[in-house]
Amino acid sequence: MSEPLKIAIAGLGTVGVGVVRVLHENGEEISRRCGREIIISAISARDEKRDRGIDLSNYTWFDDPVDMARDAEADVFVELIGGEDGVAKTSCEAAISAQKSVVTANKALIAHHGTDLAVEAEKNDLGLAYEAAVAGGIPVVKSLREGLAGNRVTGLYGILNGTCNYILTTMRETGREFDDVLSEAQDLGYAEADPSFDVDGVDAAHKLAILASLAFGCQVNFDDTYVEGIRHISALDIQYAGELGYRIKLLGIASSSEDGIVQRVHPCLVKLDSPVAHVEGVYNAVVAQGDFVGSTVYEGKGAGEGPTASAVVADLVDIARGMKSTAFGIPASQLGPLSTVPMDRHVGSYYIRLMVRDRPGVFADVAGVLRDEEVSMEAILQRTHSPDESVPVVMTTHDVEEASMMRALERFAQYDTVVEQPRMIRIEPLSL
């Protein structure tokens, strides 16, 4: 058997402890598969004395992960600290300078600095692996980079954040409002105390930027991703979506055309027969479309100790086997600049909900705005008079350019008969 692969782990939260557990409990089987042992030589975290429910006494302790990245006797530096900058970035740079490959679960780091880190790693003939950064235990990174290597990927979409999917699922099942379900998700540990990254779509956008780079051979570019979260989704919208034959999902969508690349994260109405409509709770799903393979679907748990630790160890196994893959499918130095298509040029259909005073002439005003902006209605739902004299008017449209739709919404909001901010959700015609 070959010499052991020695690793140093920075960060001993849920995922870090999970990696230690996987290597402890499945170490013998992992060694058989690799032809060599994977052993932990050093660890680093904020608090050495904290009880993490697992024996860490046999490993060299470093208070500073940057010192560990530079000085530990290790072949691979495993970064599980989190955050796009700061010590996570500095320690990974130090590890590469010290001739250590890097394995990370840090999607923010890869979304913002993945291209630069990959260039430096490849200059030093080292690995940069990040399977755990996207969709937890679903091997979507390897699938795009290796399994679909013979295809031109034309597009991908998916549910990339389990917290949002849990919230939207629970709202639909219980009829409760967003704030109530978010509070429950926090109590259950599905949402952070500050849930902004999740519910505002940032977490999903980090993952989408990574997947788009893999799919289209472009530099990782988070900044040009359109991002919209789910705070504005109401139980009423979910109810009407159901009546119209849809479910509401927060999706990350990326596609490539002659005009450029689209990267967008936002709530969508999806038909019940779409591949992601029945992916519920904290589960994630990704659908990738290749020119020869067609559509491929990947589904599983997108977070948590077990799934994420499993993905980290899978990257370590590849390195232990001597398998060398470029981080993004092609040499990082050859990743092209990302030319993006502005969101206002998006063409699609829309769900619109207006809360209006039940007055004569309201529909004439609405119809006039739609006529002026060349928006064609496909269907309309209206409820009867309510005690507070406001009624919901729900419309779906035929395909129209988003710029026209946004102008129409701005005009709706100016009428004194419209008593709430108009709500708009894009309808996505997804299929296998």
Catalytic residue list: 207
Strand partners, 423: 353
Work out whether strand 294-301 and strand 377-382 pair parallel, antiparallel, or are unpaired. unpaired
Of 253, 281, 283, 284, whose CA–CA distance to 266 is shortest? 253
DSSP assignment, residue 144? I
Report d(CA 167, CA 163) in Å as an integer: 6
Nearest residue to 371 via CA among 414, 404, 399, 401: 404
Per-residue burial over 226-251, b = 16 or more CB atoms within 10 Å of its CB, e = otherwise: bbbbbbebebbbbebbeebebbbbbb
- DSSP helix/strand/coil, 290: strand
**Residues 312 and 132 sit within 8 Å (Cβ to Cβ):** yes
The Cα–Cα gap between 198 and 213 comes to 21
Q: Would you say the C-alpha torsion 213, 287, 179, 188 has a positive or negative sign?
A: negative
Q: Is the dihedral of CA 145, 148, 152, 156 positive or negative?
A: negative
Nearest to 164 by CA among 196, 141, 210: 196
Measuring CA to CA, which residue among 326, 272, 266, 268 is closest to residue 115? Answer: 326
Residue 261, strand partner residues: 256, 340
CB atoms inside a 10 Å sphere around CB 379: 11
The residue type found at 289 is Q
- Beta bridge partners, 348, equal 400
**Smallest Cα–Cα separation from 117: which of 89, 98, 143, 158?**
89
